[in-house]
Structure 1
Amino acid sequence: MGKEIERKFLVRDNSYKKVCSGKLYKQGYLNSNPERTVRVRIVDNKGFLTIKDKGTGFTRSEFEYEIPYTDAEEILKNICEKPFIEKTRYIYNYMGYTWEIDEFHGENEGLVVAEIELDNENDTFSLPEWIGEEVTTNYKYFNSYLKNNPFKNWDK
């Protein structure tokens, strides 16, 4: 069984961009219910199907499979719930850990979050200087929530 152990944080500034470049991600949901999400994602010329549960603590079940790019395009266009989530993802290596920084576009413009995947919920790690508040358990920062409740509509 696939497991994902991750922590999620807001990002205070874009200094991470000095040392890494990003890739555009486009994703749509076949099911955006937080209890069990099913999404299709396109990155570069690859397609992916991902299934996740709500999980407990910092751990969720996650199953991800590469699918043909043309299938992913067709599913996004004709089957997925609208609107899509579009973001640029940056990969930042820091003190033995890989951080994924997502800069959202469109209706979620202005939101930037960073995630770190861990081997164990009790792993200790250092935070880069641009990391802000932890939002791991705040459902508002789940991509499946952002789809129907875009960041631009939040009370800031």
Structure 2
Amino acid sequence: MSAVSHIPTLTLAAARAAVEACEAKAREIRVPMNIAVVDSATHLLHFSRMDGAKFTSIGIAMDKAFTAAGHRVPTSTYKEAVWPGGAGFGIWNSNGGRFMVIGGGLPVKNESGQILGAIGVSTGTPAQDEEVARAGIEVIERMMKAESGKVKAKL
């Protein structure tokens, strides 16, 4: 039995690369976004508010990332369960009101399925927010794949 746990988490470099990719996708779809990246413990690593992004979406982006990392699933997962009578009705009141049930928050996982952090995006529609977050996830996945190849090449 070990007394210490080593939990993998995103680096600031990965968070910055993800935000750059998210910003590029947001420009492509012509919707300025608020973009938050959190680590595996749900703490903010990096944030960007693009010119023209909604001020009221700043906290929403952070809370989407918080929810996706903390609950280990996309925020869109809760879409059908949160209506009156649904299994998750009222869940948005949990975690000090930070639990977000609107699409646009995606967890970042490694090859083993461990949560490394999450990306939360807000200002567009839930589908647009998720599309922009996905661009950041894809960059991180490419970074991890490249690092994995370097480790294998050294062995």
TM range (shorter): under 0.3
* TM-score of the superposed pair, with normalisation by structure 2: 0.26
For the pair shown, the structure with the greater C-alpha radius of gyration is 2
Per residue, is there more strand in 1 or in 2? 1
Ranked by relative contact order (alpha carbons within 8 Å, sequence separation 6 or more), the top structure is 1
Per residue, is there more helix in 1 or in 2? 2
